[in-house]
Structure 1
Amino acid sequence: MKLFKHTLLALVCAGTMSAQAQNVENEVDQEASYLSSKTVPVFKGYKNTNGSIYNDKEFKRGTVFVDGKMTASNVGLRYNAQSEEIEYMKQLGSQATVVNVVKKSENIDVKILNDHYVYLPSPGKKFKDGYLIVLEENDKLTLYKKLSKEFVEGKKSVNSYTRDVPDSFKEREVLFIKVKGEEIKEVPGSKGKRKKLFSSKENEVTTYMKNEKLNLRKDEDLIKALKYYSTLN
């Protein structure tokens, strides 16, 4: 009887170890589908420099999708706008000094809190392939924002009446729109040119903007106008 119990216990333990090993193997295979071989040090920022190379310098809770399927959740993610990379920390809040980088691929997208990042080919000659943040998406159109950081060298004070201007990272945002059946294109910055986005329903949208007191130069008002435009037949 004791021999039977020992044999049974051994079989249970072996089965548990086998299942654990299989789970680890599956997890490694999953990570290989969305993580590149590149690693980067956990970087907090440059000293005596205003701004940051990151959209948010702290890792935030995020989710990774491969081919539209959630593949990793509750992981730490942050967007490096200078190198256009998504940095990945397996356990949010860990004391890791080195982290992984998510593969740059059109079939991989991530969500960092409420920001949805997708990787797309260059939408224009003056831009390279990279990440865009989805601002609005519906059956008719998708509105994206491309975030970049430009290094601006500081200046030393020339006299006792002025102060030193430190180095800084200046944030730049460019919007892009993809209307169903059309190529993705840059959204112009002026109110008049943005109004042309609604040329097929200009009267209805103009009335709506007047009633809602929308200013198309403001991105949040443009999104409201696009949402309304998408409801029109």
Structure 2
Amino acid sequence: MKKLLLNTLLLSFVVLTSNAQRVLDNLDQDGSGALYRNNVLNKQLAQKIEGSEYLVNEFRFAEISGVSKQIMIRYDAVTDMIEVQNEKKEVFSLIKNEPYSTITIIESNEKIKLLNYKSDEGYMNGYLVELFSNKDISLFRRDKITLQKGKEAVNSYQTAVPARYVRVSDEYYLSIKNKTAIPMPKNKKELQTLFPTKKEDIALYFKNNSFSLKNEKSIIEMTKFISTF
């Protein structure tokens, strides 16, 4: 029985992988440029870097808008790129264009959206994780990892510090009435100012509920409350 179950699972994986490969072939059969080969991704880094540029290292099956079949993807939080892997373990980057703007991870149902948004760095076009959305307001999270440079030992008394990938604090963004997403206010006062006609309602919410801009669950619940206005 166990052997039969294992064979069934293996067969299912082979079928899914084969379908994913056909999708990869179909994506660019007319030279549309949906995928492009990233040679850096297909080579081992010469420099030893600690940590990972991925929140999830494994490739996972996902649905991509504009693509009829599921394919294997993962998100690089350093380069802000969606990587696609074929059955030969070759890695390609998904171009940041319509219609490939919504990626849904099958196992977690997590939705990643390609959006224009305004950050402290200026106007950006990149991937944000959708945490809540309705017709009036949407909440997104930006996952980001940076490369921290290493330091060589100047002499025998010093220890070399290797380069490492470091995850930085999550950033949250609000999109109101489908407008360009903007940074989540940094404090309660700024949040009330963003919704001037509902200051009293928001103040009452703060009074009756525990709220922290450092807690994702708290931010989601606050956004849901605002969506009822």
Q: How does 1:49-198 map to 2 (within 5 A)?
A: 49-66=49-66, 71-73=68-70, 75-90=71-86, 96-108=88-100, 109-112=102-105, 113-124=108-119, 126-155=122-151, 165-172=161-168, 173-180=170-177, 182-198=179-195
- Deviation at residue 230 of structure 1 after TM alignment: 0.7
- Deviation at residue 226 of structure 1 after TM alignment: 0.8
Cα distance in 1 for residues equivalent to 2:153 and 2:196: 51
Does residue 37 of structure 1 match 2:36? yes
Larger helix fraction of residues: 1
State the Cα RMSD in Å.
Answer: 3.4
Q: How does 1:23-34 map to 2 (within 5 A)?
A: 27=23, 30-32=26-28
C-alpha spacing 1:196/1:128, structure 2 compared with 1 (3 Å) = same
Larger mean Cα displacement after TM superposition, 187-196 or 218-227: 187-196
- Deviation at residue 103 of structure 1 after TM alignment: 2.1
Provide, for residues 115-164 of structure 1, a one-character-per-residue CA deviation record: whole Å limited to 9, x for no partner: 31222235356353221221211111111222222211234679999965
> How many residues are aligned here?
200
C-alpha spacing 1:47/1:171, structure 2 compared with 1 (3 Å) = same
Structure (1 or 2) with the larger CA radius of gyration:
1
One-letter amino acid of the counterpart of residue 105, structure 1:
N
Cα distance in 1 for residues equivalent to 2:114 and 2:178: 19
**Which runs of 5 or more structure 2 residues have no equivalent in the other structure?**
1-18
In 1, are the aligned partners of 2:116 and 2:126 still within 8 Å (CA)?
Answer: yes
- Deviation at residue 217 of structure 1 after TM alignment: 3.5
C-alpha spacing 1:184/1:27, structure 2 compared with 1 (3 Å) = closer
Larger mean Cα displacement after TM superposition, 28-37 or 211-220: 28-37
Give the TM-score taking structure 2 as reference length.
0.70
Give the TM-score taking structure 1 as reference length.
0.69
- Identical residues among aligned pairs (%): 23
